[in-house]
Amino acid sequence: MRTIGHYFDGGVAPFEEERTGDIFNPSKGEVQARVNLAAADELDAAVARAKAAQPAWAALNPQRRARVFFRFKELIEANMQPLAELLASEHGKVVSDAKGDIQRGLDVVEFVCGIPHLLKGEYTEGAGPGIDVYSMRQPLGVVAGITPFNFPAMIPLWMLAPAIACGNAFILKPSERDPSVPVRLAELMKEAGLPDNVLQVIHGDKVVVDAILDNPDIKAVSFVGSSDIAQYVYNRGSAAGKRMQCMGGAKNHGIVMPDADLDQAVADILGAAYGSAGERCMALPVVIPVGEQTAVALREKLVPAIEALRIGVSTDEDAHYGPVVSAQHKARIEGYIQMGVDEGAELVVDGRGFSLQGHEEGYFLGPTLFDHVTPEMKSYQDEIFGPVLQIVRSASLDDAIALATRHQYGNGVAIFTRNGNAAREFVQRVEVGMVGVNVPIPVPVSYHSFGGWKRSGFGDMNQYGMDGVRFYTRVKTVTQRWPTGDTIVDQSFVIPTMS
């Protein structure tokens, strides 16, 4: 059986039997590999290695650091197919989705190739008599990232690329459910020219997470996961004096106006709700038709489109989505479907009981659709994180905006309309961090930044873009003046002064 060890000192460490976890093949429902789970002292050893390696990397000028990322980008592109197949085999998403996972991370790698420009500070000449003021951005030192199972390439790249480009050493704790791609990315970084131990991959569970949060030499932590865990990580890390960036769960809404192009809206909603089996924080699990006529017409188009979806193994090129990640997660989703029934929602399409011939033990779920869902239902309030779409009917745009705004999560939202005034009003008023106008999954491009509001995001700075550069650096501001001959101009320069 395949085994996966930690990555440090420029290679994968030998597999140890003391603490291990199983990695399943979601399509078959069987164990396919085992991964080491680190103890707290192993994490501390990784931090010590990172602390020793970081100063020389930070001393390298930004242009030379950028060259490593140019080579890294080329290596990822050259290895796209095997990386996608490896990712799909552990996560369960189809290979085309896996390629999208990698590509969105690659976009951030491409962004940080411009790190010499991104790190430039500000300069003021003549701020006072003979006085100039300038600022610079410097790395924090050793930083860490804790990433979820649902995007095992994209989210690690969102974190490690800006962190390392800014001159930090980075310790990645990926999900123990699908850890192989993060290790492979570390190997490609080594091949691209990154010095040993500037990037390390340490596998683990809560033991390692707590060790990361408690280690005083780790100056910042980026996290993506469920909201309850994000809040725990944020509170514990902040209490330890760390800079924290913690992204949580979501319950994104798609508002469908009466003037929307329903055929296009249905196609968009279908992909956003069921793609990757709904296991993404920017999925669209709630659709809000405005007006009864819109609701009836939308449902009439949605049902046959949903019933035409193809579920298959990750290598099935014709499949729209594959299995969910684990048996436990499948059972959790089925529990929420039953909860919706018990709460009185209308179960229009039931995805339970789906079985794929030849893969009866796989973690497959058919697409599910509920109608007449109300805001009081717990199945609406919670993040289900599976192939389940809920219709919540609304009488007006005001009501639809209020639904999205009042929800505990504020990650993403979308509106489908031809009306520019309605779209503009929606964008201005809705209290959600990322907004799409006729775009069902409004994940910002790499030179903007990703982040939700309310219980979808804890901390003041978002992922990647300039916020990523700001998160992994600190500003040093210099006020200077120089002597003229043997004297310094304006001897009375003091702060505060009325001179």
Which structure tokens are listed for 176?
């123990």
Sequential DSSP letters for 431-461 = --SEEEES-SS-PPPTTS-B--EETTEESS-
Spatial distance between the Cα atoms of 61 and 353, rounded to a whole number of angstroms: 58
Report the distance separating Cα 273 and Cα 287, nearest Å.
Answer: 9
Q: Which amino acid, one-letter code, is at 50?
A: A
CA 313, 314, 319, 323 dihedral sign is: positive
Question: Is 132 in contact with 125 (CB distance < 8 Å)?
Answer: yes
Give which of 446, 483, 489 is closest to 157, Cα–Cα: 446
Q: 32: which 2 tokens? A: 């396919």
Return d(Cα 278, Cα 231) in angstroms, integer: 23
Cα separation, 208 vs 281, in Å, equals: 24
User: How far apart are the C-alpha atoms of 52 and 394, rounded to whole Å?
Assistant: 58
Quote the CA–CA distance of 297 and 295 in Å, as a whole number.
6
Contact 404, 367 (CB under 8 A): no
Q: How far apart are CA 471 and CA 264, in angstroms?
A: 38
Burial class (CB in 10 A: 0-12, 13-18, 19+), 339: middle
Cβ distance 237 to 244 under 8 Å?
A: yes
Q: Are 321 and 370 in contact (CB under 8 A)?
A: no
**246 a catalytic residue:** no
Cα torsion 170, 173, 178, 181 to 10°: value is: 10
Local structure of residue 195 (DSSP, 8 states): P
First to last CA, the chain: 77
Residue 14 token pair: 């030998």
Residues known to be catalytic: 281
